[in-house]
Amino acid sequence: MAVQPGPTEQRYVGNGVTTIFTVPFLVIQASDLAVYVDGVLLTSDYTQTGAGNPTSTVTFTSAPAALSQILLQLDVPFERLNDYQENGDFLASTVNRDYDRIWQALKQLLRSFGRSLSLGQFDIDGQGWYRAKGNGIRDLADPVQPQDAATKNSVEEYVSSILETGQGPINNAQNVVYVYPDNIARPLQTLADKTNTTLGAAGIGYRGRTVGAKFSERLDVTDFWQLGDASWSDAIDRCIAIAESASSTSTGPSYTVPKIWFPRSFDPSGTYGILRPIRTSVALQFDGDNARIVTLPGFVGATIPLQAGGTEINKSMMIFLNGSKGNIAGQLRWKAKVGKGIILDCQDIADRGIYIERMAYSSIDCEIQFAAGSGVQVGPYCWGIGFDGVVIENFTLFGIHFLKDSAANGMSIRNPRIWGEFKTSVAGIVFDQDSEANGVVIEGGFIEKIDYGVLVSQGNGPMSIIGVDFEQCTFACVRAAAGSFAGQKIGPVDVTNCFLHTNTVGTSKIYADHATINVSGCRMFPANFDFETDNSSRGIINASNNRYMAGGTVGIGANVSLAYTQNDGVTKEDRNYLPQKNASFSPTYAMKNYAYRDSPFLQSSGIVFAQSYQGGPTGQYLGFSEWYTAEYRHISAPGVINQRIGLRLANDTGQNAVQPLVDGGTSCGSAAARWTQVYAFNATINTSDARSKEQIRDVSEAEIRVAGKLKKMVKAYRMTDSVDKQGPEGARIHFGLIAQDVKAVFEDEGLDPFAYSLLCYDKWDDVWRDIPEEREQVLTTEPTPAFSLRDPTRPILDRDGNQLMSPPGQPIFGSDGQPMTRVVKEATRELVYAAGDRYGIRYEELLAFIISAM
């Protein structure tokens, strides 16, 4: 058959399982194949099938071991066993087989020749170079003549002889060559170079660390770089392993946290490329010399266990996590840090810059760029975490994201620069539902080019946003919303001294849904609305002393529960704004005083102002105000309220009126506290509706006689108070009856005068009021028991047998030599008016009564 060009050997690597291997070249007879395993020629333990075919197989009795080297090699013996007879048969099969073996032997020779030393194809003999194809040459004799090849042994012996005798070129420093770590040979003198960073100490592997840094145990990631590392991930992992082993037994808040340093000296660009997250289970502190850590193409997230079960792929550039994610019962770590000298460049590959969980009192002050998700994600139990000057730019989801149970109590975010660049960024800072973040301070800095500046969900406590520049927020600068309300209020959220700017028509700078937001001292950039609450009016916004740029007025969104206070000059205004005309919410201002805390329904006094809108777009505004107290009596603990007493100014009854709060239950003045004059456009209207009366009868004969007598008893007189003030002649003359005379006439006819409402008699007790006072009291030593001077153990007793006390002690002096004092609060009572009684007459009834006798 034809002999094709091709290989004459085949190599395999054993895997401990496979026993059958293919021979991909022609083997005419089985003895023409040599089988080697790990360099040992086998003569047994295998069988060969398919000899004489273009391919055949070798089957081992047992599978070669894993990683063993298997060589199948054509090995045709250089011999000719066929002998053709004179005038014998000249069969094609015999001749072809004989010629095939000749060509097989030639191919075998070609293989051997290709593995020998040879001159280059175009080299001239005597002037060329033998090629070893990168292979070493062994079994050479040591050199004799000057042009003989040197062996390793001859070189070592020659160098040893020089060192032993101290003779030769080594004494001439100009001839000493030193090979640097970059494999470039340079003169030895270059090790002393102090100006070129590629020479000098770089020749001995110096990477820029100082002796002080080494002594301070600051780990430098460049110390862990090894030749062959595909990225900095391996070096960083080695460094973290050392740091974690040093801190494995230290978990309290006062231990010294290991520090890891990223210098610029190893790579002047300061760039560290990584292929996987920088992950630590302890609190480490990372910082550097403006070092940029970059995710490389092929970056793969870390597989981390979940407390709820299963795993997730976390593609954060840095992961601070001890144990399972979401394990709120896991061990806390303390004082992790990513410093200002670190730049995390996610390259839109890593989902986030940092994920941190159960790391209390930590600080993140670095710069994070191009996160495919969020810049920083804060997991459970990270109270006391701080951000000082953090820079987060060009992210896709959130700048800083606080997850459920983050418990970031006492947290501060100071001078942040959060810049979304209008990507698909949702918010600068987000507090998820039940983040349980309380006492949060966000102060200074910028939050710009983003959908929402700060998002706060239910389950988050009071927080302060101070002096933040919110620029070009698409929908809201601050939005506190509960969503599907589960009984938890948000906040209060205090927004103070901020610049607020939204850039989308119909949006509001401040939005509250079942949250209280207090806005003061802020500048509202013109355009769009300033305030908005949910359409159920569950949110409340308190605004005071802000600068409203849209013509000095407040821009109000579709639904607003707003309390607005503005000081202009010396004028103070409290404004409560209605929402749009078709809203049903009634903004109210109320001040209420209660009897005591345990029974708040027992109101004693208060003031209420309210207004609403009724009737749709063409309806009217209705409002009222109330000023009241309560008639409260202690029949049984804690007592009951009979009714509220007070005035109501309103226009919601079809007329403008000053009304009592209770119909027919409140007097205007009293016998002890009377009005001097009543001015009215019309006379008073008294109820005379038959439906309000019963036991209606005619006037009796005795009553007619009383009326006749009273008609003749009209007198002229002056009022005593007027005489006291204006004198006997200055006081004006009045006409009327004397109440005591009226009483006597009824009694003369055998009638009870007080059964008739035209005669009144009122009696009252002293009325007092408390006036609080403060006075200064000198502190003195306490009085002490008195004892006999002759016998200090015998007390001095009075006539009744009681032990006498020494006079009050002397003044107590302070460190300045002056008597120490305290402020004592006391209340003195002042008589408003003394007890007394007074008669009175209802003249409209008296005159009607007298007319009955005419």
pLDDT tens profile 249-305: 445 554 567 899 999 866 667 799 999 999 999 999 999 999 999 999 999 999 999
Which pair of tokens denotes residue 141?
Answer: 């004799």
pLDDT value of position 432: 93
Q: Which of 161-175, 399-413, 622-636, 639-653 has the highest mean pLDDT?
A: 399-413
CA 301 centroid distance within chain: 24
pLDDT value of position 394: 93
Residues 488 and 631 in one domain: no
Which pair of tokens denotes residue 508?
Answer: 């509001």
Q: Could you report the per-residue pLDDT of 636-675, keeping only the tens digit for each? A: 444 444 556 777 777 665 567 787 877 777 788 887 888 8
pLDDT value of position 2: 66
Sequence length of the chain is: 854
Residues 536 and 455 in one domain: yes
Instruction: Assess if residue 270 is contained within a domain.
Output: yes
Q: Could you tell me the CA-to-CA distances from 444 to 95, 134, 286 in Å, in that order?
A: 98, 65, 25
- Of 202-211, 358-367, 513-522, 570-579, the one with minimum mean pLDDT is 570-579
Residues 824 and 840 in one domain: no
Structural domain boundaries enclosing 100: 9-80+93-113
Q: Which of 8-12, 121-125, 506-510, 581-585 has the highest mean pLDDT?
A: 8-12
Residues 546 and 606 in one domain: no
Span 725-732, average pLDDT:
92
Q: Flag whether pLDDT at 114 surpasses 60.
A: yes
Residues 62 and 188 in one domain: no
- Of 239-253, 315-329, 364-378, 501-515, the one with minimum mean pLDDT is 239-253
Please report, rounded to a whole number, the percentage of residues in the chain having pLDDT higher than 70: 79
Q: List all residues 6 or more positions away from 76 whose beta carbon is below 8 Å from its beta carbon.
A: 28, 32, 101, 104, 105, 108
pLDDT value of position 56: 92
pLDDT value of position 602: 54
DSSP 192-215: G-SS-TTSGGGGGT--S--HHHHH
Instruction: Assess if residue 574 is contained within a domain.
Output: yes
Q: Flag whether pLDDT at 496 surpasses 80.
A: yes
Pairing of strands 620-633, 640-650: antiparallel
Q: List all residues 6 or more positions away from 795 whose beta carbon is below 8 Å from its beta carbon.
A: 785, 786, 787, 788, 803, 804
Residues 624 and 722 in one domain: no
Q: Could you report the per-residue pLDDT of 684-724, keeping only the tens digit for each? A: 888 888 898 999 999 999 999 999 999 999 999 999 989 99
Instruction: Assess if residue 334 is contained within a domain.
Output: yes
- The residue written with tokens 């210098």 in the block is 263
- Nearest CA-CA partner of 33 in 75, 70, 5: 75
pLDDT value of position 751: 95
Q: List all residues 6 or more positions away from 306 whose beta carbon is below 8 Å from its beta carbon.
A: 312, 324, 325, 326
pLDDT value of position 778: 76
Q: Which of 16-30, 187-201, 764-778 has the highest mean pLDDT?
A: 16-30
Residues 241 and 373 in one domain: yes
Distance CA 843, CA 479 (A): 65
pLDDT value of position 799: 79
Q: In this predicted model, which residue has the larger pLDDT, 517 or 107? A: 517
Cβ contact 101:28 at 8 Å: yes
Q: Flag whether pLDDT at 567 surpasses 70.
A: no
Instruction: Assess if residue 146 is contained within a domain.
Output: no
Which pair of tokens denotes residue 698?
Answer: 């005619």
Number of domains in the chain: 7
Q: Which of 91-100, 119-128, 584-593 has the highest mean pLDDT?
A: 119-128
Instruction: Assess if residue 60 is contained within a domain.
Output: yes
Span 624-632, average pLDDT:
67
Instruction: Assess if residue 171 is contained within a domain.
Output: no
Residues 346 and 224 in one domain: yes
pLDDT value of position 633: 46
Q: Could you report the per-residue pLDDT of 135-146, keeping only the tens digit for each? A: 888 888 888 888
pLDDT value of position 640: 47
Residues 234 and 351 in one domain: yes
Q: In this predicted model, which residue has the larger pLDDT, 497 or 195? A: 497
Distance CA 713, CA 748 (A): 14
Distance CA 413, CA 375 (A): 14
pLDDT value of position 639: 46
pLDDT value of position 742: 95
pLDDT value of position 338: 97
CATH of residue 348's domain is 2.160.20
- Of 568, 585, 602, the position where a domain reaches its end is 585
- Of 569, 585, 601, the position where a domain reaches its end is 585
Ramachandran sector of residue 134 (left: φ over 0; alpha: ψ -120 to 50; beta: rest): left
Q: Flag whether pLDDT at 606 surpasses 80.
A: no
DSSP 530-544: EEEE-TT---EEEEE
Q: Indicate the residue type of 799.
A: R
Span 490-503, average pLDDT:
92
Distance CA 559, CA 587 (A): 11
Q: List all residues 6 or more positions away from 164 whose beta carbon is below 8 Å from its beta carbon.
A: none
Q: Flag whether pLDDT at 599 surpasses 80.
A: no
DSSP 787-817: B-SS-TTSBPB-TTSPBPBPPP-PBPB-TTS
Say how many C-beta atoms besides its own lie within 10 A of residue 161's C-beta: 11
Residues 576 and 440 in one domain: yes
Q: In this predicted model, which residue has the larger pLDDT, 133 or 206? A: 133
pLDDT value of position 167: 47
Q: Could you report the per-residue pLDDT of 68-80, keeping only the tens digit for each? A: 999 998 888 877 6
Helix, strand, or coil (residue 217): coil
Residues 526 and 436 in one domain: yes
Q: Could you tell me the CA-to-CA distances from 508 to 520, 711, 723 in Å, in that order?
A: 16, 75, 67
Mean pLDDT score of the chain, rounded to an integer?
Answer: 81
Q: Flag whether pLDDT at 159 surpasses 60.
A: yes
Instruction: Assess if residue 400 is contained within a domain.
Output: no
Instruction: Assess if residue 250 is contained within a domain.
Output: yes
Residues 538 and 602 in one domain: no
Q: Could you report the per-residue pLDDT of 730-771, keeping only the tens digit for each? A: 999 999 999 999 999 999 999 999 999 999 999 988 877 777
Q: In this predicted model, which residue has the larger pLDDT, 540 or 215? A: 540
Pairing of strands 523-524, 547-548: parallel
Q: Flag whether pLDDT at 339 surpasses 60.
A: yes
Distance CA 417, CA 425 (A): 14
